[in-house]
Amino acid sequence: MIQFAHKEILWFLLAAGAMLLGYILYWQHRKRSLARLGDSELLEELMPEASGNALHWKFLLLITGTVLLIIAVSGPRIGSRLQEVEQKGREIIIALDVSNSMLAEDIKPSRLERSKQMINRMVDRMSNDKIGLIVFAGDAYTQIPITDDYPSVKMFLSGAGPDMVSKQGTAIGSAIKLAARSFSSQEGEGTQGRSVPSQAIVVITDGENHEDDAVGEAARAAEKGIKVYTVGLGDPNGVPLPLSPGSSSKRRDKEGQVVVSKLNEKLLIDVAREGKGAYIAGDRINSLVDELDKLERAEVLTRVFSEFAERFQYFAGFALLFLVLEFFIRSRKNRLLERMNLFKTGEDGK
């Protein structure tokens, strides 16, 4: 697969497009101007040295050489092989609450959308770390297994929402339990001879746990050396839940009462304490990143392209060839070649 060392230079290809458009407009204007001067056959006799085909060839060589030169400067290259290298990093699994209560708009645009923004900022600041994504409501589901493919994490994160889970509720304990057995060392990847990287679970939720023993699961994770951090979003006083994202209608229970969702900070603090981690308020993303930075980095296997084979020289060579040819092509007919008349055999045709 071809890659470019300086992708931003490819924007200059737009200039080549502008050149092509300019030449087309110039040629149309030239034809109209000549048509106003007189008959085309008469003009051809008056300007015997003019060569329209030569102009076309000169421009074709010029624009082709320019495009190839831009590509050459952008640094085209091919990764000759994909290999695993050891780099110092951590393993972090994010458990994101996608229950209906996360649609509350006490945090704009909503608790869920703010959570996604927070995770994107976390991923942007990661380097050499592995990350996984779990979504949960009444049950927990693995969305992205532990990986170093950050773009995929962002892609799957963008589609996370209440409609992707079949059972509503808030099972924080199930999310912690699933995350704890999803780390690479827990799955039995070869770690002999290597130190186990620091492992952490980040639970992002409003804390309305109605399903299981979240505190107990956090304690069991800590016994395995996995730290549990909690991030709380919402108003402790409670706010009505919208019927759907952006809706002015409120969600109601079976008795017709408006459903109110509150941030349960006490539970999240207890979970973080038993998980040997820390509780972070939702508006303090930098504090969470600082806490994660305290985790010790160890050797983790990361897949990278290595031994890039540079290919710019081929594009540069052909660009130079075309530009040199363009320089030597005359915009007028060559009188010398016409006088030589190489294909004339004589007056008698012999």
Provide the mean pLDDT of the chain: 81
At 32 the pLDDT is 77
At residue 9, does pLDDT exceed 70? yes
Specify the DSSP class assigned to residue 245.
T
Q: What is the DSSP letter of 79?
A: E
Q: How confident is the model at residue 329 (pLDDT cuts 50, 70, 90)?
A: confident
Distance between CA atoms of 323 and 171, rounded to whole angstroms?
67
Q: Name the more confident of 41 and 118.
A: 118
Whether residue 67 lies inside any domain: the answer is: yes
The DSSP secondary structure of 83-125, one letter per residue, reads EEEEEEE-EEEEEEE-SGGGG--SSSS-HHHHHHHHHHHHHHT
- Examine residue 24 and state whether it is found in any structural domain, yes or no: yes
Q: What is the pLDDT of residue 343?
A: 43
**Is 185 found in the same domain as 45?**
no
Instruction: Kindly tell me if the per-residue pLDDT of 307 is higher than 80.
Output: no
Residues 112 and 46 in one domain: no
| pLDDT of 190 higher than 60 | no
Check whether 44 has a pLDDT greater than 80. Answer: no
Task: Look at 28-32, 315-319, 337-341 and tell me which has the smallest mean pLDDT.
Answer: 337-341
Closest CA to 275 of 179, 344, 211, 185: 179
Residues paired with 304 in a beta bridge = 83
Give residue-wise pLDDT tens across range 261-276: 899 999 999 999 999 9
Percent of the chain surpassing pLDDT 90: 30
The predicted model gives 142-152 an average pLDDT of 90
Is pLDDT above 70 for 348? Answer: no
Instruction: List pLDDT tens digits, range 63-119.
Output: 998 999 999 998 887 765 555 556 677 899 999 999 988 999 888 889 999 999 999
The answer to whether residues 213 and 240 touch, using CB atoms and an 8 Å cutoff, is: no
More confident site: 50 or 150: 150
Distance CA 161, CA 96 (A): 10
Closest CA to 228 of 178, 194, 262, 167: 178
Same domain, 237 and 255: yes
- What is the reported pLDDT for 192? 45
**Structural domain count of the chain:** 2
Per the model's pLDDT, the better-predicted residue between 128 and 214 turns out to be 214
> Which pLDDT band, with edges at 50, 70 and 90, does 325 fall under?
confident
- Residue 187 placed within a domain: yes
Sorting pLDDT into bands at 50, 70 and 90, what band is 350? very low
Higher pLDDT, 217 or 167: 217
Largest CA distance in the chain: 113
pLDDT of residue 333: 53
Q: What is the mean pLDDT of residues 211-230?
A: 92
In this structure, the answer to whether residues 71 and 87 fall within a common structural domain is no
Strands 260-261 and 140-147: unpaired
DSSP letters for 264-316: -HHHHHHHHHHTEEEEEETT-HHHHHHHHHTSPPEEEEEEEEEEEEE-HHHHH
Asked if 96 and 230 sit in the same domain, the reply is yes
Contacts of 20 (CB under 8 A, 6+ apart): 63
User: Residue 140: inside a domain, yes or no?
Assistant: yes
**Residue 150 shares a structural domain with residue 187:** yes
For the chain, percent of residues with pLDDT exceeding 70: 77
What residues contact 61, with CB distance under 8 A and at least 6 apart? 322, 323, 325, 326, 329
Query: In 3D, which of 185, 179, 222 has the Cα closest to residue 92?
Result: 179
Q: Give the 3-state secondary structure of 165-196.
A: CCCCCCCHHHHHHHHHCCCCCCCCCCCCCCCC
**124 pLDDT above the threshold of 60:** yes
Residues of the domain holding 110: 83-304
pLDDT score recorded for residue 303 = 54
Asked if 47 and 189 sit in the same domain, the reply is no
Asked whether the predicted pLDDT for residue 349 surpasses 50, the reply is no
Write out the two tokens for 281.
Answer: 């308020």
Answer yes or no: are the C-beta atoms of 205 and 233 closer than 8 Å. Answer: yes
Q: Is residue 350 part of a domain?
A: no
Q: Are 157 and 256 in the same domain?
A: yes
- The domain that holds 245 is classified in CATH as 3.40.50.410
Domain presence at residue 348:
no
| pLDDT per position as a tens digit, 283-292 | 787 888 888 8
Do residues 89 and 237 both lie within one domain? Answer: yes
Residues 154 and 194 in one domain: yes
* Least confident window among 1-10, 31-40, 216-225, 330-339: 330-339
**Residue 112 structure tokens:** 């869920």
Per the structure block, which two tokens stand in for 317?
């060579």
Q: What residues form DSSP beta bridges with 299?
A: 88
State residue 51's pLDDT score.
Answer: 54
Phi first, then psi: what are they for 17, rounded to 5°? Answer: -65, -40
Q: Is the pLDDT of residue 43 over 80?
A: no
143 and 286 in a common domain: yes
114/246 same-domain check: yes
> Is the residue at 45 inside a domain?
yes
| In-domain check, residue 346 | no
pLDDT at residue 337 in the model: 44
